[in-house]
Amino acid sequence: MARRVGEEGRAAERAIRRTRAPFPRWLPRRLTALELLATLARRRALAIKLGFPLVLVVPLVATSAPPFFAGMLLTVLVTLIGAVGTGVTVVRARGGGWLARLAVLPLSPARVGVELLLASWLVDAVQGSLVIGLVLAWRQPAPLVGLTCWLLVLAVLAIANALGLALAALTDHPGETMLGLAVLLAPLLFLAGLFTGVPAAGPRAWIAVVLPFTYLDQAFQLVLGGNPPSGAPPSFALAAAVTALVAIASAAALGGAVLRREG
Amino acid sequence: MSRGSGPARLPAAAAPPALEARGLCRRFRNGRGAGPVDLMVHPGEVVALLGPNGSGKSTLLRCLATLTRPSAGSVAWWGDRDRTRARARLGVGFDVSAHVEEASGLQNLAFFAAHQGTGSGVDRSRLEAVLAGHDLLAVADDPVATYSFGMRRRLLLAEALCHDPDLILLDEPTVGLDVTAAHRLAAGLRQRAGAGAAVCLASNDTGFVERTADRVGFLDQGQMVRDAPVATLLAELGTLRELRLRCVGAAPIDRLRRLAGVATVAATPDGVVLTAHPRDGLVADVVQALGDADRVLQDLQIRDPDLSDCFLALVGRPLEV
């Protein structure tokens, strides 16, 4: 027989529980909110996540590192911030049976994909904003240049999260996901001209035009006082908008494969 | 213990079955899996799938719960094969109780309640009442990471049942539950079935199945070897009671055979297994027979036949190894 607890008893229990309730205490309706809540509850991990990029960024902006080199490193850092967490987290969630539970809920796969992306992106956006905030505060570029660079950071984080989701759809082990990321990102970053610059013409020049990493790298170089080979802030802002849209569409398309729901 | 809860309630003639699987088959590359299986569960009916580990119960349940697509055959929910529409009316509890560990039990429940169409959504009082019904109110705001295995299982059940689903699909629902919680679950499922819900369980817990189910489907190596009402299955076994004896020295088998009501006596490596028609004084007579033969009784276990005996009789192998 179920134990019956009246409203009075529940109120008393609630008062006791408040004294030892975990932070935060809101009741999540959406997957994004639940995932975000889990991230916020892991306070030490969150502090490390938010703090570790600064270890790299502070010496890069505080010293006279060449803009080409500093821009490349910052672009790689932002890309990894976005891609690594999502892929590994989703693969672990599948291994633990969480995704199977989501798969039998009346939720569309597209919605699950977008909500998973959004949960990771929101935390990454805070992390990325700390990075770009420090860079902008130190170098103080023109406001439009700074704003464009920040938008590109947010957009690259979104597309990197989508790449993480794509790898999570293909792999079943966190180690496999990490390896997949290295195999996928290294050529993309090379083609974006991070290591050698973008050639003036030819197939590589055309490929670089469609890669968001190209624009972020060049925006960082602008902020850091370098001479980017091409582009201007308005076209960079357009690149950021297109990148964000592609990221959301990709996440929606990947939802079914991530859940491994068959139909 | 009440056994074989009477004849299964007959469904209304016009109502389509809540669940209908025809030739359902799901095979993996290694040849394991389940099917082909025919299964029907009507509103108001509790059906249990019983079988040893690896018999295909969970595979079958995953197909019925819309998670995996059958390799062959079909599944219809209320006469409709659309999985998306079906999901809105299902309450599913798999054998793994996965949660967002850093969130509290209340927060996990709120998420499932919000997505499973409870009218009141994430109303705190209602959610707390649900948790109270599963003895989890005291830990409602604690992170799930601090829960015991049994508490996680109860939370899983609370999440699966919080929206009063029309079709309940549970895999090994009593794993991790204490006796009280298992009895409460059995009563709760019977109550929901009484209110018109259809229930399909996969379990190895014969006692729970006998208390809860109207009908049992025995699965072995992916095949449905028998599908019948619990009462019918137990009636087929008869009423013979089993006594397992262990004594110092060889048991006086001939003397035991001559006792009134005794049907069979067989020596085993551990002692003697005796079957007999229940009667007053049977145990006393057995003890007396041993004493007359100068044997000292070391151990005596008495057991009434249950569904595991049905499985043994059908398949020739025990349900649990």
Interface residue A34 vs chain B (CB under 8 A):
yes
- pLDDT at residue B135 in the model: 93
Interface residue B81 vs chain A (CB under 8 A):
no
Q: Find residue B50's DSSP bridge partners.
A: B203, B218
Whether residue B65 and residue A104 make contact (CB cut-off 8 A), yes or no, is yes
Whether residue B110 and residue A27 make contact (CB cut-off 8 A), yes or no, is yes
Interface residue A7 vs chain B (CB under 8 A):
yes
Q: Are B40 and B208 in contact (CB under 8 A)?
A: no
Task: Compute the distance between CA of residue B76 and CA of residue B89 in angstroms, rounded to an integer.
Answer: 13
- pLDDT at residue A17 in the model: 56
Whether residue A1 and residue B184 make contact (CB cut-off 8 A), yes or no, is yes
Whether residue B115 and residue A28 make contact (CB cut-off 8 A), yes or no, is no
Scan for tokens 């349940």, then name that residue: B61
Give the single-character DSSP code of B299.
E
- Min Cα distance A166 → chain B (Å) is 20
Cβ contacts (< 8 Å) between A41 and chain B: which residues?
A: 102-103, 143
Interface residue B72 vs chain A (CB under 8 A):
no
For each of chain A's 263 residues, which pLDDT tens digit applies? 334 446 666 665 665 555 555 567 788 989 999 999 988 888 898 999 898 888 888 888 888 788 889 999 999 999 999 998 888 999 999 999 999 999 999 999 999 999 999 999 999 999 999 999 999 998 888 888 899 999 999 999 999 999 999 999 999 899 999 999 999 999 999 999 999 888 888 889 999 999 999 999 999 998 988 766 555 677 888 999 999 999 999 999 999 888 876 64
Q: Which of A14-28, A238-252, B73-87, B221-235 has the lowest mean pLDDT?
A: A14-28
Whether residue B122 and residue A106 make contact (CB cut-off 8 A), yes or no, is no
Interface residue B27 vs chain A (CB under 8 A):
no
Whether residue A13 and residue B107 make contact (CB cut-off 8 A), yes or no, is no
- pLDDT at residue A42 in the model: 86
pTM, full prediction = 0.83
Stated as kind and residue range, the H or E segment containing A93 is: helix A67-95
- pLDDT at residue B236 in the model: 81
Residue B4 has pLDDT above 50, yes or no: no
Q: Are A74 and A57 in contact (CB under 8 A)?
A: yes
Phi-psi group of B31: left, alpha or beta (phi > 0 → left; psi -120 to 50 → alpha; rest → beta): left
Whether residue B143 and residue A41 make contact (CB cut-off 8 A), yes or no, is yes
- Min Cα distance A260 → chain B (Å) is 8
Interface residue A263 vs chain B (CB under 8 A):
yes
3-class SS at A140?
A: coil
- pLDDT at residue A67 in the model: 87
Average pLDDT over residues B285-299: 89
> Strand B271-276 vs strand B262-268: parallel, antiparallel, or unpaired?
antiparallel
Scan for tokens 């949660």, then name that residue: B99
- pLDDT at residue B121 in the model: 57
Cβ contacts (< 8 Å) between A33 and chain B: which residues?
A: 111
Residue B86 has pLDDT above 60, yes or no: yes
Interface residue A10 vs chain B (CB under 8 A):
yes
Q: Are B21 and B37 in contact (CB under 8 A)?
A: yes
Tokens representing residue B150 in the block: 């049994």
Cβ contacts (< 8 Å) between B116 and chain A: which residues?
A: 105-106
Give the pLDDT band of residue B6 (cuts 50, 70, 90).
very low
CB burial readout A117-130, b (16+ within 10 A) else e: bbbbbebbbebbbe
Average pLDDT over residues B119-141: 86
Whether residue A7 and residue B66 make contact (CB cut-off 8 A), yes or no, is no
Residue B264 has pLDDT above 90, yes or no: no
Q: Are B137 and A5 in contact (CB under 8 A)?
A: yes
Interface residue A54 vs chain B (CB under 8 A):
no
Task: Compute the distance between CA of residue B189 and CA of residue B192 in angstroms, rounded to an integer.
Answer: 5
Interface residue B174 vs chain A (CB under 8 A):
no
Task: Compute the distance between CA of residue B34 and CA of residue B27 in angstroms, rounded to an integer.
Answer: 6
- Min Cα distance B102 → chain A (Å) is 5
Q: Are B218 and B50 in contact (CB under 8 A)?
A: yes
Cβ contacts (< 8 Å) between B59 and chain A: which residues?
A: none
Interface residue A35 vs chain B (CB under 8 A):
yes
B-interface mutation test, from A104, A108, A112, most B Cβ less than 10 A away: A104
Q: Please tell me which of the candidates B84, B102, B188 has its beta carbon nearest to residue A38.
A: B102
Average pLDDT over residues B60-77: 93
Cis peptide before B7 (omega within 30 of 0): no
Q: Which of A8-17, A203-212, B136-145, B194-203 has the lowest mean pLDDT?
A: A8-17
Phi-psi group of B119: left, alpha or beta (phi > 0 → left; psi -120 to 50 → alpha; rest → beta): alpha
Helices marked H in chain B = 57-64, 83-87, 105-115, 124-133, 149-161, 179-194, 206-212, 230-237, 253-257, 282-292, 307-315
Q: Which residue of B has its CA nearest to A30?
A: B111
Tokens representing residue A108 in the block: 């569309």
Give the pLDDT band of residue B5 (cuts 50, 70, 90).
very low
Q: Confirm whether the ipTM is greater than 0.90.
A: no
- Min Cα distance B92 → chain A (Å) is 7
Residue B12 has pLDDT above 60, yes or no: no
- pLDDT at residue A76 in the model: 95
Cβ contacts (< 8 Å) between A42 and chain B: which residues?
A: 102
Average pLDDT over residues B226-238: 87
C-alpha angle B162/B166/B167, rounded to 5°?
95
Distance (Å) of CA B26 to CA A236, B35, B86: 51, 6, 19
- Min Cα distance A4 → chain B (Å) is 7
B-interface mutation test, from A4, A19, A101, A259, most B Cβ less than 10 A away: A101
Whether residue B127 and residue A31 make contact (CB cut-off 8 A), yes or no, is no
Instruction: Give the count of beta carbons closer than 10 Å to the beta carbon of residue B241.
Output: 19
Interface residue B179 vs chain A (CB under 8 A):
no
Task: Compute the distance between CA of residue A204 and CA of residue B178 in angstroms, rounded to an integer.
Answer: 65
- Min Cα distance A30 → chain B (Å) is 7
Interface residue A96 vs chain B (CB under 8 A):
yes
Task: Compute the distance between CA of residue A125 and CA of residue A114 in angstroms, rounded to an integer.
Answer: 15
